[in-house]
Structure 1
Amino acid sequence: MITSGLQDQLYPGAVTLIAKDGDIVFHESVGDSYKYDANGEPLSSEDMITMTNETLFDLASLTKTFTATAIMQLHEKNRLSIDDLVIDYLPEFSTHPEKDTITIEQLLTHTSGLPASISLANYDEQEEMWGAILSLETVYTPGAQMIYSDVGMMILGKIVEVVSEQSLDSYVEEWITVPLGMTDTMFNPNRELHTIAPTEYSPDRGLVWGDVHDEKAAALNGVAGHAGLFSTAYDLAIFLQTMINGGSYGDAQVLQPESLQLMMKDQITTESHLGQSLGWNVNRGWFMAGLSSPSTVGHTGFTGTSFVLDPLTDSFVIFLTNRVHPTRNEGSINGVRHDLVQQFIRSIPYSHPLGGHTWYSGMTSHASSELVFEFDTYETDRLVFDTSFDILNDIARDQGFVELSTDDGNTWDILPVTISMDDYTKTMHHSWIGSTKNHWVEAQASIEHLTEEEILIRFRYVTSGSNGKGWWIRPSNPENWSLVNDQNWSLIETELEVSVH
C-alpha cells in the first residue's frame, strides 16, 4: 500500500510508524527523500538520498497541535484562559467591533470567523506583517461556523509569545520538546541537509530544503503557530504517547490529565460533522478511517504528513511523506492515508466477551450489506440483541438500519430500537450512526403491536468511501432467531477476541 504511493508517484518516499499499547509495532521507511531536479526529472542514483527512519520532515500543519498544547499549558497555569478575549492579550487586534468578541477557544476550534489565510509577500518587516495579520476582518460571524484558518493559529502562536515572554520556538523547546526528550523536533533545523526531506522547487526560493515550506511561516522567519516545526516519526511517537498517557512521558508531565481531556474533547456539535477539538481534528473518517470515533484525534499537513491517535485502542498511526517534492501539483495522498489506517485497524483484536453467535459487518468501503433473520414472536413482545458499533458520522456518512417486514420481505419499515449502557439510553428512530466506543450495549425494540407469529428483521449497513470499525450484532434468545441471509456479514462463533477483518 505504501509502496503503491511510490509507484503512482504521489510522493518520493515515506516513513510510517504505528504503535499499540505503548509499543512500536511498525516503523519503516520507503523510497527516497531527495529524488528530483528542478525540472521534475529523477536524479541519478548517485545523487538521490534514501529515506530513512531518522529523516526529518517539515510537519506543516501538525505544528498546530503543538501550539494548542502550549496554549493549554498556559491555561492550566492560569496564565490565560481559553475563554479570554483575544484583545485582552493583543489590543491591536481590535480593528472591528465584531473582532472584540473573539475568544482564544474560537481560534483553537477554527470558529473565530477569521479568513483561512493571508499573503505576506508584499511586506518586508515583521512589524508590518503582524499589523496586516491582526487587522484582518472577519469573513463570517464569530462562533457561527467552522472554517479552517491558518490565521487563527498564527495569532495563537503570538499569544503564547506575549503571555510567556518567550519566542514560540523557545517556548516549545523549553516546555514541550526538551522535557519529553524530543531531540529531533525544532523550528529552523540546524542539521545537515541530507538528514532532512526537501520539499518543493519554488520560483523565488529554489529548492526548499531545511527551511519551512509554508510561505507565511517562511516570511515570519520560520516560526509560526500554524506551521514551521520539523520532526521525525519517532519524536512524534513520543508526543502522541504522551497524549495517550494523560500528558506524561517518563518523568515529564507536560499537561495535566484534566487539561488534556479538555483539549481533546470535540467542541463542534453542528451538522457540519467535522469534529474539532482545541487544535486537533476529531473523528475525520477521510484520513482516520477505521480508527475514527468521537474520541479519535489527529491532524494532517500540506507537505504530506499526518497522524491519527485513538485512545480507545491505545494506538496511533504516523505517516510522513514529502509529497510536495518536487511540486505540490501531484495527486492527493488521502487515499493512502486512509488505507494505511484501515489496514492497521483490521489487525487489532476486538473484545467480544459475550460468547455465542456474533455477526460482523466488515469494513468495506462503498458497500451495502444485509443481515436478515426470521424472528419468532411467540411468547415475547420484545426484540432483544447485544450490539457494538462504530458507524462513521463524517461528511461522507455511513449508516446502519434496523428494519422490520411482516410480508415476507416485500416491504420494510424502520424499527425504532433503544440502546442501553450503564445509565445511558438512546432510541434509534431512523439510521444508526456514531459509536459505542468499543463497548457492547443492549438493544431492545417493542413488537407488542404485531399480530404475526413470524416476522423478518433486517440489519442493513451502508458505507461510503470512509468508514469506521463497523457493526457487531449478537441476538439474545437465539432460539427465536433463524438466519435467512448474511450477505457480506461474517459469523464469529464463541471467541473471546476477534480480529477486525
Structure 2
Amino acid sequence: MRGALGKLLGASAVGVTTAAMVAVGSLAPARADDGNGQTGRFDVVHDGFMDPRTTLSDVDPVRLGLDPAPIEAAWEEINSYAHPSDPDVRPLYSSSVGIMGHAGAVVSRHHDGHALLYADGDGTELPPDERIAATPETIYDMASVSKLFTSIVVMQLVEDGLVDLDAAYASYVPEFGNGGKDEITVSQMLTHTSGLVAWLPLWSRYPDVESRIRAVMDVEVSNPPGTVYEYSDLNLIALGVLAERLTGEPLDVLVRDGITAPLGMADTGYNPDPALLHRIAATEYQASPDRGIVHGEVHDENAWSLGGVAGHAGIFSTAPDMAVLAQTFLNGGAYGDARILGEDSVRAMVTNLNTEFDGDAHGLGFELDQMWYMGGLSGPATAGHTGYTGTSLVIDFQSRSFVVLLTNRVHPSRSWGSNNPARRAASDGLARALAVPPQQGRTAWFGGLRDGSETTLALEVPDGRRVSIEFSAFVDAEPTDVFALEASADGGQTWTLLPFTVERGKGRHADREEIDGTWNNQGNRDWGRATARVPEGTELVRWRYTTDSNTQGRGVLVDAVKVRDGRRVVLVGESAPDAFEADGFEPVSR
C-alpha cells in the first residue's frame, strides 16, 4: 500500500500550484501547534494538521478572534432564501441547519424552518399540526456527499493493502473490463477522470438490483480514460461494489464499522430507522416513480432502486455528525481516540490530482477549490462536496475552518431552484469573520463585497519624471473579477492599465512578478508589496475592483500607500487619508 500511495502522491506533485503544495500536498505531521499559534486570521496559512486528539466544543467566536457580525449576517441571508419577502418568489428550501467551525471549535450553530412542510409537488402546505420543525439534530439526506464515505472506505482498503490506486479496477472486478474500460484505474474513478458517463437511468430501465449493477459493469466509456473530467455517479457505484467484493461485507456495514461508529456519528448511515421519521427532513414529491413526498427514504432514484445503499448516494446525517467528519480531516484522519485514516491517505484525498483539467480540481474523493459553493473559503487547499438535495461540506485547511450547511432544497420540487447562493453565503460569512489586519496603521482600504459592481480608490500624483507609487495589496478574488491599477492623464476621463511589480514573501525566498496592471493572487492568502513607475503626464492613479454577477472570494484590500518623487517621499497614505477619493472602497480595521 505505502508504495502505491507514495507513487501516486509523487506523481501528483507535478503541476500542483504553490499554495496547494504548501498547504495540502506537503502537510506536515500532526501536531498541536504549528508555530504561529494564531487564530481568527484569514491571512495566516497553517501548514500542518491539527492535533489528532482535537474534539469539538462550542466557543464564542470572539474568543477566537472572529467577528460575529458576518456570521450572523450569513444566517440571516440563508433564512431569507427560505422565507422570501416577495410572494411570487418560491423558497429555495423549507429548512436549513448549519454549523461553522474554526481552530477546533464550533463557533456558530443555526437552524430554521420546517423539515416537513409540503403535501405535494405544487407546494400545498400541510396543516400546522402535521408539519415538522427543523432542529439542530434534524437528519438530512446527504445525496452525493455520500461519495466521501465511499471514498474513505476505498482509502481504508488501500491502507489495508487490498487495493492499489494505480491498478485497473477490472483487476478486482473482472466483469467490468469491457467496452474500453479495462485500463480504468481506481484513482481515475475517485477523481472522475475514468471516461464513464455521468449517469444511467438504472431505476427505470432495469428490473432489479442485479441487472442494475450489471448495467454499470457493462457500460462503455464515453471518453478514453484520463483524457477528460466528467463527474459520474457510476464511478462511485462501482467503487462501492469493489469494496463489497473485496471484504465480503455490504457497504453500509463498512461505513458503520470503519467510519461512523469509531467517530461516534450515531445519526449517520443508510436507510434510517422509521422510528426517526419525526427527525428527518423530507425531500421531493415524486410522481415518476410514484413515491409521493419522499420522507425517510433516499431521494436519489438510482440509490433507492439499489435498496438505499449505494456508493454514490444514500447516506443520511446531521450537521453535528458532519462537523465531526470535517474536524477529523483537519486532524489528519483522527478524532479524539479514534483514527479512521492515516495522514498520507488524507493528503491524497485533498491534493489536486486533476491539474490538467482547469477548474475541476479534485483529490481522491474530495472536490477542491470550487468557489461556486465554497465562496470566500475557497482556495487550493479547500476541500468539500455537495449533495443534490441541498447539502454541502466545506473544509478549509489553510485557516483550519469548516462549514456544514444542510437544506432540503428539493422539498417539494427540484425545479424550485438551486441553493448555491445559500452555500456561498455560509462560507462567505465565516471567511469574512476571519481577520485580514492592515499592514500599516489602523485601517486598510477595502474594495467591498458586492456582486456586479465596480469600486475605485483614486489618488492625485505629482507631475515628474521619476514618480513612483508603492502599496500593499491583498487580493483574494474570483478569477473572473478584476483588481487593477490604472493611470489617467486627463483628469479621470480615460484610464489605462499601469504595470507594476509585486513581491510576495521576504528576503531570499521572496517571489517577484511583473504585472500588466491586473492581479489575482491565485489563492495565496498573503499580502503583496507592489511598486509602479508612474508615466510623465499622469494626473491620477486608481485601484479598481470590478465583480461579475455572482461569487466572490474574501475580497481585496489596499494599504501602506507611499508616493515618491525620485527618492523623496511626497505622500504617506496613513498620514493623508483625505488625499484618496473612494467610490465604494472603505477603511476597515480587519
TM-score, with structure 1 as normaliser: 0.89
2:583 aligned counterpart, secondary structure: coil
**Residue identity opposite 1:330 in structure 2:** W
Distance in 2 separating the partners of 1:330 and 1:122: 27
- The offset of 1:54, in angstroms, is 1.2
Q: Tell me if 1:491 matches 2:578.
A: no
Aligned to 2:9: none
Aligned to 2:505: 421
1:388 aligned counterpart, secondary structure: strand
Contact 1:388/1:436 (8 A) holds in 2: no
Aligned to 1:75: 158
Q: How many aligned positions are there? A: 487
**Residue identity opposite 2:266 in structure 1:** T
Where is the strand percentage greater, Structure 1 or Structure 2? Answer: 1
Aligned to 2:560: 475
Contact 2:499/2:514 (8 A) holds in 1: no
Distance in 1 separating the partners of 2:294 and 2:205: 20
Aligned to 2:221: 138
Aligned to 1:4: 80
Structure 1 unaligned blocks of 5 or more? none
Distance in 1 separating the partners of 2:541 and 2:348: 41
Distance in 1 separating the partners of 2:366 and 2:267: 22
1:5 aligned counterpart, secondary structure: helix
1:344 aligned counterpart, secondary structure: helix
Distance in 2 separating the partners of 1:377 and 1:270: 47
Aligned to 1:432: 519
**Residue identity opposite 2:174 in structure 1:** P
Distance in 1 separating the partners of 2:535 and 2:283: 69
Distance in 1 separating the partners of 2:101 and 2:175: 44
2:403 aligned counterpart, secondary structure: strand
Kindly report which structure 2 residues correspond to 1:275-314, keeping only aligned pairs within 5 A, or say none: 275-314=361-400
Identical amino acids, percent of aligned pairs: 35
2:101 to 8, 12, 19: 19
1:110 aligned counterpart, secondary structure: coil
1:316 aligned counterpart, secondary structure: strand
Distance in 2 separating the partners of 1:78 and 1:64: 21
Contact 2:497/2:517 (8 A) holds in 1: no
- The offset of 1:434, in angstroms, is 4.2
List per-residue Cα deviations over 1:76-131 (Å, max 9, x = no partner): 4433232222222222111123x223222221222221111011123233322111
- The offset of 1:457, in angstroms, is 3.3
Aligned to 2:267: 184
- The offset of 1:416, in angstroms, is 4.2
Contact 1:289/1:467 (8 A) holds in 2: yes
**Residue identity opposite 2:555 in structure 1:** G
- The offset of 1:392, in angstroms, is 1.8
Where is the helix percentage greater, Structure 1 or Structure 2? Answer: 2
2:116 to 19, 30, 34: 34
- The offset of 1:387, in angstroms, is 2.5
**Residue identity opposite 2:584 in structure 1:** N
User: Which region of structure 1 is more displaced relative to structure 2, 27-36 or 56-65?
Assistant: 27-36
- The offset of 1:60, in angstroms, is 0.2
Q: CA RMSD in A?
A: 2.6
1:226 to 303, 308, 312: 312
- The offset of 1:443, in angstroms, is 3.1
TM-score, with structure 2 as normaliser: 0.76
Contact 1:201/1:207 (8 A) holds in 2: yes
Aligned to 2:323: 237
Distance in 1 separating the partners of 2:125 and 2:448: 41
Aligned to 2:36: none
Contact 1:18/1:27 (8 A) holds in 2: yes
- The offset of 1:379, in angstroms, is 9.5
2:559 aligned counterpart, secondary structure: strand
Inter-CA distance 385–110: structure 2 relative to 1 (3 Å threshold) = same
Inter-CA distance 412–113: structure 2 relative to 1 (3 Å threshold) = same
Contact 1:371/1:487 (8 A) holds in 2: yes
2:205 aligned counterpart, secondary structure: coil
Distance in 1 separating the partners of 2:521 and 2:312: 30
2:340 to 254, 261, 264: 254
Inter-CA distance 378–116: structure 2 relative to 1 (3 Å threshold) = same
1:111 to 190, 193, 201: 193
